[in-house]
Structure 1
Amino acid sequence: MTAPNHLWLPAPTDLTLLPDEINVWRINLDQPEPQLQNLKNTLSSDEIARAERFHFPQHQQRFIAGRGILRSILGRYLSIKASEVQFNYQQRGKPVLAETFAKSGLEFNLSHSQELGLCAVNCQREIGVDLEYIRPVSDLEALAKRFFLAREYEMLRSLPSDQKQQAFFRYWTCKEAYLKATGDGLSQLEQVEIFLTPTEPAKLRISQDWSLFELAPANNYVAAVAVANSGWKLKCWQY
């Protein structure tokens, strides 16, 4: 299922998350300096330390924007200030809400590429999102052979040259969204089977207990959301 660009709407002021909904937020990571400072003021000391470890100022700024806006979004659902949101981190570094907020049932995941970010939110179910900017990959077929299953690799190879790039990144985002939802690492990429064609939406072959949504957040970007269970309604908000 693909959500075209025009579905990214301003979020309502009375934001609610129904039990059968997934909310996906599109985030601009290139924020003006005054807004960036406001966002930085909501971060914890360990988040600021992480930002400062980036060598390039642009990467620092995008990290601050991503984490600050994530806090702002989660704060809206929790009815608290962005600075009051607290995180724990799973074994592979995936942020989750601290135990203090366990009763909310809120699950989320964040991904970013270049100047864009996506944040996916739902209630109670494991969720993962991945976003990729479609860029030239010199050894695309070699990477596909290494990380994809044989059927996926053969499908990619069969495509005309001008379609291979997009198909590669579609496979990649679908696999990584699922692995981020389950908390598994990229070493498992070749164990997650995806069925897709240039004209059909992707499907997860690994399990019937998962839903997979493909998104088109902007030109030259592809993204995917994987979430446990089925019957979800997708809403796409522009932050």
Structure 2
Amino acid sequence: MIPFLSAWPPSPANPTLPADELHVWVASLNRSQTQLNQFWQHLSEDERARANRFYFDHDREHYIVARGLLRQLLGNYLQLPAHLIAFAYGEHGKPELAAEQATSGVRFNISHAQGVALLAFSRNREVGVDIEQVRPLDDGEQIAERFFSENEVAVFTAVPPEQKPQAFFNCWTRKEAFIKVIGEGLSCPLDSFDVTLKPGEPADLLQVKGSREAAARWRLENLEPANGYAGAVIAEGREWQLRTWQWPA
């Protein structure tokens, strides 16, 4: 079981999603067979087919839990059975609610890594979230030089060696969250915008394609969802309250 940080409280029984709030949930994807069976019941036929295409059991099980939990949380917000949630997909594969459910204004995004998932929800504002396990990388410097912006590379190079893993994944999760919120996938170069990355420094989107004004329409927040993990969430606008919860074990 993943050791969650105590700063993330247990989830409320019946949360609502006001327009001025952004909700992020952290959950372990390592579940009992009973729970797996329950999440399986939430899935559509195409989701079950995709689950069955995974070669490794743990990958299949993590997909079932992540997708089933997404449906369950959306069902709670929309007051619908989880299996009735319908999805549509953008040009670059970003999922969203389909048909009449989209009129609710509920937006969402999900990310998972090494058995831990983050699920973010908002209303009438785009949202992106990312999580990674913090670990040393032998080729971290090379990856940074290839994908980070010139300013980010300079900051990363100056970080003390013992802080480099955290700095690297601070930058990576913040960049991935932005790529996901704009829905452009890999068509948006990672070095076309700047984020902060120093450990202990507030998360911020500094500029987008040289424009501070373009960056100002977004608010980026650092997340510490579990011991040894880095996370980030970003959403449109700046006047919203972030609320974080832990899904029950």
With the shorter chain as reference, the TM-score category is over 0.9
Partner of 2:35: 35
Contact 2:150/2:191, CA 8 A, preserved across alignment: no
Give secondary structure in 2 for the equivalent of 1:136: coil
Partner of 1:64: 64
Contact 2:140/2:168, CA 8 A, preserved across alignment: yes
Q: How many equivalent pairs are there?
A: 236
Listed one character per residue, the Cα deviations across residues 102-141 of structure 1 (whole Å, up to 9, x for unaligned) are 2210000000001100000010001000000112311100
Partner of 2:189: 188
TM-score normalised by structure 2 residue count: 0.91
Listed one character per residue, the Cα deviations across residues 68-120 of structure 1 (whole Å, up to 9, x for unaligned) are 00000000000011111111111222211112212210000000001100000
Q: Choose which of 218, 225, 228 in structure 1 pairs with 2:233.
A: 225
Listed one character per residue, the Cα deviations across residues 138-165 of structure 1 (whole Å, up to 9, x for unaligned) are 1100100010111111111111211111
| Aligned partner letter, 1:56 | F
| Aligned partner letter, 1:208 | A
Give secondary structure in 2 for the equivalent of 1:41: helix
Percentage identity across aligned positions?
42
| Aligned partner letter, 2:57 | P
Listed one character per residue, the Cα deviations across residues 180-213 of structure 1 (whole Å, up to 9, x for unaligned) are 0001223521112112422311210121010001
Please give the alpha-carbon distance, in whole angstroms, between the structure 1 residues aligned to 2:119 and 2:14. Answer: 19
Q: Choose which of 219, 242, 245 in structure 2 pairs with 1:234.
A: 242
When the two chains are superposed, the root-mean-square deviation of aligned CA atoms in Å is 1.3
TM-score normalised by structure 1 residue count: 0.95
Q: Which consecutive segments of 4 or more residues in structure 1 shift more than 6 A?
A: none
Q: Is 2:208 the partner of 1:200?
A: no
Unaligned runs of 5+ in 2: 208-214
Deviation at 1:9, TM superposition (A): 1.7
Give secondary structure in 1 for the equivalent of 2:142: helix
Partner of 1:151: 151
- Residues 155/6 of structure 1: CA separation in 2 closer, same or farther (3 Å cut): same
Contact 2:156/2:197, CA 8 A, preserved across alignment: no
Partner of 2:223: 215
Partner of 1:141: 141
Within 5 A, what are the aligned runs for 1:156-175? 156-175=156-175
